[in-house]
A and B are shown apart, each in its own frame.
Chain A
Amino acid sequence: MDSALLVHRLHFAFTVTFHYLFPMLTMGLAPLIVALKTMALWKKDEAYARAARFWAKIFGINFVMGVVTGIPMEFQFGTNWSHFSRFAGGVIGQTLGMEGMFAFFLESSFLGLFLYGEKRLSPKLHWLSAFMVFFGSWLSGYFIVCTDAWMQHPMGYFTSADGSVALSSFWSLVLNPWAVWQYAHNMCGAAICGAFVMCAVGAYYLLSREHVEQGKIFVKVGIVSGLLFSALVMGPTGDKQGRLVTEYQPATLAAMEALWETQPGAPLVIIGQPNTDEQKIDNPIYVPKMLSFLTYRRWNAEVKGLNSFPKENWPQNIELLYFSYHIMVGLGTIFLGIMVLCGLLWWRGALWNARWMQWILLLAFPLPYIANTAGWMTAEIGRQPWLVYGLLRTAQGYSKNVSAGNGWFTLLGFMGMYTLLAILFIFLVHREIAHGPEEPPAPVKPLAPTQKQVPVEVH
């Protein structure tokens, strides 16, 4: 690979992967905070209000990180991918421009009110500001996914005289079926991240026998949403997404499954290492005919293998694509398993004594981060060698006027900067968790004997 092309790809891959660690939690926590605030208003229960206040602090730190690492994304289309921007700006400039006008202004305006305005606003207005932050972050997500969906499955465009593309139908762009399903799938993934993080903090408090009342609230809210979204992420959203790939990106599907030969009744590989030299899977464990069934709903349907496509249209990194996809699907299955188990224990009234389950919840929180990242890697590595599927190759899209040396200079700079940010983030979030939510005023609720007395802190 051309060294400038390599560094520009690494540049975007690194900055976007790091960036998305934060919005996935922002988008996942926002609806849960709205749920907590709704419960506080509806049940008139101060415990929910304290829970919401605690999560607002973590949300605030996380949001700042998302904003700070998000600014470079919008710039990089122009700085590192200028030929792509020139080629596709007439179309995707629409969605990116709309994100700024509709989502960024809304989020930034209401975030300040939500984080710092609780004393100035009435409870209902403060609820509204939480809702608007949620709405803004989810709207922002739609415009971004819509942009990516156009690159995966271009619609509503025509090619102008100078070779670039231009918009021909606004509604095909914003209602692209790929965008709708990818968005639904992606938001389920983000919601799972929020649910698992909330559960993990709750489990931590339960295990350490501190803030037990709040810990239970966190675990309950986390399980309800975790159960819901772990189911939705598989069907219909994941299933539908997979069938869109089958229909529009058949070579990608073959590479995701490491299927070389076209065959009827194709098996679904659960585990195994793709061997590209010999075009087979080493040490496979598979379910016969399952892939045919999942993709075409017929046990003997023919699934096209990589060999039926010209080699220059194969995704370049079949191994990484295969593993990204399998990790995403495998973890998705585990999420549903964990949440069903928690749900059962809760229903039987055994959850609060099942410390082993609380340990699982505590340790599981990194998994949704991995699954969401692997999911996006599947989408983006799977789209290769295209930048815009079928229209523009990745090798044609980068800024040819920006040399590899300048690319490395800024990539290394970002790596240094993001290391600093990551340390700050972990430090500050750790502090908030160690600090814990406010305790209820002592005389109203006597503390359990095992519980440590923590003074009411105001800050």
Chain B
Amino acid sequence: MPTIWFCIVAVMVAVYVVLDGFDLGAGVLHLFVARTDEERRKIIRAIGPVWDGNEVWLLSAGGTLYFAFPQLYASGFSGFYLPLMMVLWLLMLRAIGIEFRTHLESNVWKSFFDVVFSVSSLLLAIFFGAALGNVIRGVPLAEDRYFFEPLWTNWRVGAHPGILDWYTVMCGVIAAVTLTAHGAFYVATKTDGDLNARCRKTAAILWPVQLLLTLVSLIATVWIRPELLTNYKTYPVGWLIPALVVATLIGMFVFRSKGNDKAAFVSSALYITVMLVGAVFAMYPTVLPASTNRDWSLTIQNASAPHYGLTVGLVWWAIGMVFTVGYFVFVYRMFRGKVSLEHGSDHGY
């Protein structure tokens, strides 16, 4: 039962990264690829009706984590206290940036919220990457299963690292590059003309960086935590994952070159998914490794809620998920196609 919930939480996190990833990426691009107010409104309109729903996946993944693995939620959230609070502030700034930008026909007002929106999107992408880096690298859990990580210590990957060290900073950079490219593919599918061309060009510039960083990160990860290869050695089917990573990277390149924005976006979504699956596959059954003493790591067994609650949860979770998928299909269908500013009399965005 804990394994099922481990997979469920992992899937919810992956869906979150793929969905909110493109609107975070669009946010990063907002200042750079969109030059005029009209283009910026197009970007906001491309994500406007969906970003809030995308972000709910983070909240729901958090809620599900709380319910299925209370110990992990308690240890992780209090240990990552400072960065989580900063993520909260960034999420707030970003939300008001998107929602309140168009409330006033003033250039000063709009410019201010453009910068708020774009900078908070970039920082969030970096923070999320660094967070993943922390979870892979391990945190200084004590015997009582709690820890508190300062923002930085000596920038090295030791027994008492900070939130930021060279490894997690690298993860942050990869996340920022990956999500920016992901956002570029998304905005390309939703727009045409100059904006579309600039998005494709951005993705073209980012692709070699992404390729290089992927290789560097895989090597670095195995170097700092060689035991992550154990599951791959035990279950060789896992080697399909790196193969798929390569395949999706090629897909991004080929489809972009052919001008097939949708297929390139899907490749990017698959790339993100496969990278996350690779990390999760390597970590199982650990959910939060201890950098201090491996025996103090949190695993799906010692962090999960008791059986009855998990069984009941499976019932309501499945029902809720059916509804959720329904809503998402409906909303994305309602707002499908390229955005235009034709419906100028629609209030908002």
- The residue on A at minimum CB distance from B76 is A78
A38 on interface, CB distance cutoff 8 Å: no
Q: Which of A63-79 contact B (CB under 8 A)?
A: 64, 67-69, 71-72, 74-75, 77-79
The answer to whether B346 touches A119 (Cβ under 8 A) is yes
Residues of B within 8 A of A219 (CB): none
- Tell me whether A116 and B49 are in contact (CB under 8 A): yes
In the complex, are the beta carbons of B53 and A101 less than 8 A apart? no
Chain A interface helix/strand/loop/mixed: helix
Distance between Cα atoms of A119 and B56 in the complex (Å): 25
Contacting residues, chain A, for B79 (C-beta < 8 A) = 401
Point out the residues of chain A lying under 8 angstroms from B100, CB to CB: 61, 64, 424, 428
A112 touches B66 (CB 8 A): no
Tell me whether B88 and A75 are in contact (CB under 8 A): yes
Identify which of A85, A89, A90, A104 contacts B59 (C-beta below 8 A). Answer: A104
Q: Which residues of B, 95-116, contact A by the 8 Å Cβ criterion?
A: 95-96, 99-100, 103-104
B328 on the A face (CB < 8 A): yes
Which residue of A has the minimal Cβ distance to B82? Answer: A406
A400 contacts across to B, CB distance below 8 A? 146
Within 8 A of A (CB), among B49-71: 49-50, 52-53, 55-56, 59-60, 62-64, 66-68, 70-71
Q: Is B255 positioned at the interface, with any CB of A under 8 Å from its CB?
A: no
**How many of chain B's residues have a CB under 8 angstroms from any CB in A?**
66
Q: Give, as a whole number of angstroms, the nearest-CB distance from A212 to chain B.
A: 24
Cα–Cα, bound, A424→B96 (Å)? 9
Please state if B89 and A417 are interface contacts (CB–CB under 8 Å): yes
**A380 within 8 A of partner (CB):** no
Residue of chain B at shortest CB distance from A111: B52
> What string of 1s and 0s marks CB contacts (under 8 Å) between A86-111 and chain B?
10111101101111111011101111
C-alpha spacing A98/B320, complex, angstroms: 8
Q: For A320, what are the chain B residues with a Cβ–Cβ distance below 8 Å?
A: none
| Residues of chain B lying within 8 A (CB to CB) of residue A67 | 52, 95
Q: Which residue of B lies closest to A88 (CB)?
A: B70
A101 pairs with B63, CB closer than 8 A = yes
| Contact code string A390-432 (vs B, CB < 8 Å = 1, else 0) | 0000000001111100100110010001000100100010010
Partner of A399, one of B81, B312, B334: B81
Task: For A113, give its contact among B64, B305, B321, B334 (CB under 8 Å).
Answer: B334
**In the docked arrangement, what's the CA distance between A101 and B320, Å?**
5
Kindly state whether residue B238 has any CB partner on chain A within 8 Å.
Answer: no
Given A105-B327, A424-B96, A458-B345, A82 and B85 contact (CB-CB distance below 8 Å)? no
The total of interchain contacts (Cβ-Cβ below 8 angstroms) comes to: 221
Q: Which residue of B lies closest to A400 (CB)?
A: B146
A112 proximity list for chain B (CB < 8 A): 48-50, 52-53, 331, 335
Of A109, A160, A170, the contact of B306 (CB 8 Å cutoff): A160
A105: which of B56, B91, B148, B349 is its contact (CB, 8 Å)? B56
Instruction: Kindly state the separation between the CA atoms of A89 and B72 in the bound complex, as whole angstroms.
Output: 10
Q: How many residues of A contact B (CB 8 A)?
A: 71
Name the interface residues of A23-73: CB closer than 8 Å to any CB of B: 53, 57, 60-61, 64, 67-69, 71-72
Contact (Cβ within 8 A) A75 B84: yes
Q: Do A113 and B331 contact each other (CB < 8 Å), given the known contacts A64-B96, A166-B309, A402-B148?
A: yes
Can you name the residue of chain A whose Cβ is closest to the Cβ of B330?
A109
Q: Is A167 an interface residue (CB 8 A)?
A: yes
| B258 beta carbon closer than 8 Å to chain A | no
B73 A85 Cβ-Cβ under 8 A: yes
What 1/0 flags go to A268-301 for Cβ under 8 Å of B? 0000000000000000000000000000000000
Complex interface: chain B residues within 8 A of A421 (CB): 92, 96
Nearest B residue to A411, CB-CB: B85
B75 contacts the other chain (CB 8 A)? yes
Q: Is A115 an interface residue (CB 8 A)?
A: yes
Contact of A83 with B by CB under 8 A = yes
What is the distance, in angstroms, from A30's C-beta to the closest C-beta of chain B? 16
Interface contact B346-A116, CB-CB below 8 Å: yes
Distance between B338 CB and nearest chain A CB, rounded to angstroms: 15
The residue on B at minimum CB distance from A98 is B316
What is the interface of chain B, defined by CB distance below 8 A to chain A? 48-50, 52-53, 55-56, 59-60, 62-64, 66-68, 70-71, 73-82, 84-85, 88-89, 91-92, 95-96, 99-100, 103-104, 146-148, 305-306, 308-309, 312-313, 316-317, 320-321, 323-324, 327-328, 330-331, 334-335, 343, 345-349
| A residues whose Cβ falls under 8 Å from a Cβ of B | 53, 57, 60-61, 64, 67-69, 71-72, 74-75, 77-80, 82-83, 85-86, 88-91, 93-94, 96-102, 104-106, 108-113, 115-121, 160, 164, 166-168, 170, 399-403, 406, 409-410, 413, 417, 421, 424, 428, 431, 458-459
